Chains A and B, each alone.
Chain A
Amino acid sequence: MSETRQHNTDDYIRMYKQMVRIRAFEDNANRLYLSAKMPGLTHMYSGQEAVAVGICEALTIEDKITSTHRGHGHCVAKGANFREMFCELLGKEEGYCRGKGGSMHIADQSNGNLGANAIVGGSMGIATGSALTAKRLGNGQVTVCFFGDGATAQGLWYEVMNMAALWKLPVIYACENNGYSEYTKTDEIAAGSLVARAEAFGIEAFQVDGQDVLAVNNLAQQLAERCRNGEGPFFIELNTYRYHGHHVGDINRDYYRSKDEEAEWKKLRDPITNFGKWLEDQKILSADELVALNEEIAADAEAAVTYALSAKYPEAHEVNMHVYADNSA
């Protein structure tokens, strides 16, 4: 991390805190799963924090994102609260979706998060449509479509990139390449270069170190601004790494990924550790302040978990609420 200071101190501290908040959220979600307190499965974002935070910190609250099955990081980074998120993961009434969506469908429209999506690549059309709305209404909003390397194998992406390029839509396709498409190395399922695929549509494409929050944020700032000036769409490939398996239950994974490889990423390329060191070097935060921040966030997360565990489930009559939207409004 070689960048010199460009932002004000608060921006840097917020980026650090948001990354730590994601990690704390995921550590708690994983514990909930392992202790059988959470229904179903969930997919951990740990390791990829610099991607969500670097990008979402370049957006306004009105800007939109679409997210994936590995979506807790995007949700936190776009501004969501721990309490409503844990309630959603536990199927409680106070969850962002009243417990009807769960981990894989968490949406927070109040912060511009149009929702996680359990169909790999399923939100690419939604993100592009959101950008069509922005262009049609002239509201200046940018939409970021988060997806993984695995989703680049879906045909939908090529259809919507074609239309986004033809219609010059303000959308950024952000591919988080964590090297694994579920339980398979991405090298085995992706021919050629991902960047070249976007470029084939005349879309300007970028590669960036997804572990470097400042590099991600600088690029995202530029591209968001250019989208607002009518220069979109754009494509970014962010090279990153997921610390856990495909989902929380994917524990014995030596057959597709070595423990040495995981240890190396965690030791050398952890986005939080490295950014923390940079903050110390720049004398923005001291080592003690970093520890205090981490502790404070860990306590917040635990308090939210405690709250969510004892929160109410939805009443039975809610089962057939929200199938159809009301037309009276």
Chain B
Amino acid sequence: MTREITFSIAVNEAIAEEMRRDPTVVLLGEDVAEAGTPFKVLSGLVEEFGTDRVIDTPISEPGFMGIAVGAAMTGLRPIVDLMFGDFLYLVMDQLCNQAAKTHYMSGGKLTVPLVLRTNMGATRRSAAQHSQSLQALVAHIPGLKVAMPSSAYEAKGLMKTAIRDNNPVVIFEDKLMYNDKAEVPEEEFLIPFGEANIKRIGQDVTFVATSSMVQVAEEAAEKLSAEGISAEIVDPRTLVPLDEGTILESVRKTSRAIVIDEGHQSYGVTAELAARISEKAFYHLDAPVIRMGAMDVPVPFSPALEDLTVPTADGLVANARKICRGELVHAA
């Protein structure tokens, strides 16, 4: 049986199910208990699991991140709630120097099974320190896994997999998607890491899109189909591990690729994906691979400016038309 639930409820269900299944799963972060986080994603969990397992912390991101690392090394499976993705900079030492490296540095003897759930995404009028999409920062660090759910279905299935993983996993949720609904099975399911989802089948161009950019890609694909351009959409679902095979197979079929991710374009996720396609599917390409990321500017507050900084369906349609018609494209 499937039913439609919101992204937010999907996350909540995933955590609740895993906490019921495994008493070592604990949740900690700022305002996770009675408040259920500012986005209300965790509402109700403290009532079911109590304050021993749903732990409100002080506003001390490095401190509770470090505590989660130690707890993970010694037998718990902590889920760390980092209220905004922008606060990743505060926890970088604990996440990247400690959590990511402990298994390797100990020659495989110590493990750090923890989940860092945080968010991303601009256009919420939250300005430069509450709007960033920093997935490239963590995807760059060996030892971390990175998941980017694109709907309620993925949000649930990837969260459950993350909680059971024996490694540190960072999950980025687009905060603008919390109220978006999707069909989600009532029965238990997990989505394995490293398996991309072909969201739409097409022939002329491949859109590799992450998180909310999958919605942008779907909107663009609809518009393009009216013009006779058939776009295929591949959602990698996890950046690390990356299902390179599915992406390359799609591009070999369509011979054209546009990669879309909301992180800054330079040195970002789009750069990595474009490089892999160019290296490994070069002789199948009929056009240069186009990258569409966020503009390389701090996210501005003014709506008039902020909306200019993120990839849009119209921008994607324009780029797709160009490469499908053999026009020379200069990336924005």
Contact = CB atoms under 8 A, between A and B. Distances in A.
Contacts, number: 157
A133 B215 CA distance: 41
A329 B113 CA distance: 12
Interface string A145-166: 0000000000110011011001
A119 B93 contact: yes
Contacts of A97: 105-107, 109
B66 A162 contact: no
A128 B143 contact: no
A126 B60 contact: no
B75 A125 contact: no
A132 B55 CA distance: 11
A228 interface: no
Given A323-B143, A326-B166, A125 B70 contact: yes
B104 A100 contact: yes
Given A128-B66, A133-B76, A329 B58 contact: no
A127 B66 CA distance: 9
B109 A132 contact: no
A125 B94 CA distance: 8
Interface stretch (B95-103, B206-214, B296-304): B95-103
Interface string B55-70: 1011010111111111
Contacts of A131: 70
A140 interface: no
B167 A101 contact: no
A252 interface: no
Given A162-B60, A163-B58, A325 B106 contact: no
A163 B105 contact: no
B73 interface: yes
Interface stretch (A68-76, A107-115, A186-194, A242-250): A107-115
A133 B103 contact: no
B106 A109 contact: yes
A100 B67 contact: no
Nearest to A101: B105
Interface residues on B, range: 35 or more
A267 interface: no
A130 interface: yes
A323 B58 contact: no
Contact-residue size bin, chain A (C-beta under 8 Å from the other chain): 35 or more
B70 A132 contact: yes
Contact of A163 (B64, B93, B104, B113): B64
B105 A125 contact: no
Contact of B109 (A107, A123, A134, A136): A107
Nearest to A112: B74
Contacts of A324: 103, 143, 145, 167
Contacts of B167: 324-325, 327
B69 A126 contact: yes
A159 B62 contact: yes
Given A162-B58, A327-B164, A128 B70 contact: yes
A317 interface: no
A122 B98 contact: yes
Contacts of B60: 159-160, 162-163
Given A119-B93, A323-B142, A130 B70 contact: yes
Interface in B78-112: 78, 93-94, 97-98, 102-112
20 contacts: A64-B74, A97-B106, A114-B110, A123-B70, A123-B98, A125-B63, A125-B68, A125-B69, A126-B70, A128-B63, A129-B71, A129-B72, A130-B74, A156-B62, A159-B63, A159-B66, A162-B58, A162-B63, A321-B108, A326-B166
- 4 residue pairs, one from A and one from B, having the closest CB atoms: A125-B66, A129-B70, A159-B63, A98-B107
Interface of A: 64, 66, 95-101, 105, 107, 109, 114-115, 117, 119, 122-134, 136-137, 143, 155-156, 159-160, 162-163, 166-167, 321-327, 329
